[in-house]
């Protein structure tokens, strides 16, 4: 039985596991997978925003070197995307988006000086190796030994919502 090859978006091999933190007031200092302390890694994230927008956003993620996991704060990314699209295309704000990979820093820097076409950027991009579900945190407090603590629901987005008008 042969494994079906997964379609790749970027020209470079897949790197990093990725998880999105939807809680604005909870910051990850320990890896959600292995509980080791995390560091930081600043790299250009490749983000697809519906319908056909592809953007490289230089962002500092929490990083676990043991698990090769990046954790990004959803509200911070949405704040940056809102600031970017409020000027260029406000109709995009509130659309679905997906962080699909990373871009080589050199390519991202060149794109700041001279905007690049998608066909020029993709050969220097790498997909995410593993995309984990959004981070979920249990409610703090005392619970009986046989009682599971309830999971906190993340708050809705405050900025990345459709503009009325």
Say how many domains are in the chain. Answer: 1
Residue 139 placed within a domain: no
Average pLDDT for residues 74-93, to the nearest whole number? 93
Average pLDDT for residues 156-164, to the nearest whole number? 86
Domain limits for position 35 = 12-131
Three-class DSSP category at 4: coil
The band of 21, judged by pLDDT with boundaries at 50, 70 and 90, is very high
Residue 152 pLDDT exceeds 80? yes
Residue 3 pLDDT exceeds 80? no
Token look-up 């990850």 returns 28
Phi, psi of 92 (to 5 degrees): -80, -25
Q: How many whole angstroms from its chain centre is CA 103?
A: 13
The most confident of the ranges 6-10, 21-25, 142-146 is 21-25
Residue 112 pLDDT exceeds 90? no
- Model pTM above 0.85: yes
Residue 144 placed within a domain: no
Residue 24 placed within a domain: yes
């Amino acid at each position: 039985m042969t494994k079906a090859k997964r379609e790749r978006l970027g020209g470079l091999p897949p790197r990093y596991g990725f998880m999105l933190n939807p809680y604005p007031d909870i910051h990850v200092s320990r890896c959600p997978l292995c509980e080791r302390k995390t560091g930081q890694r600043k790299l250009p994230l490749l983000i697809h925003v519906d319908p056909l927008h592809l953007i490289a956003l230089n962002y500092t993620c929490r990083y676990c070197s043991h698990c090769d996991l990046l954790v990004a704060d959803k509200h911070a990314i949405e704040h940056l995307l809102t600031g970017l699209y409020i000027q260029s295309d406000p109709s995009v704000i509130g659309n679905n988006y997906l962080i699909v990979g990373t871009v080589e820093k050199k390519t991202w820097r060149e794109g700041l000086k001279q905007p690049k076409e998608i066909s020029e950027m993709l050969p220097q991009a790498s997909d995410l190796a593993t995309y984990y579900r959004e981070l979920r945190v249990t409610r703090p407090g005392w619970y009986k030994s046989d009682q599971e603590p309830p999971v906190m629901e993340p708050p809705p987005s405050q900025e990345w919502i459709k503009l009325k008008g």
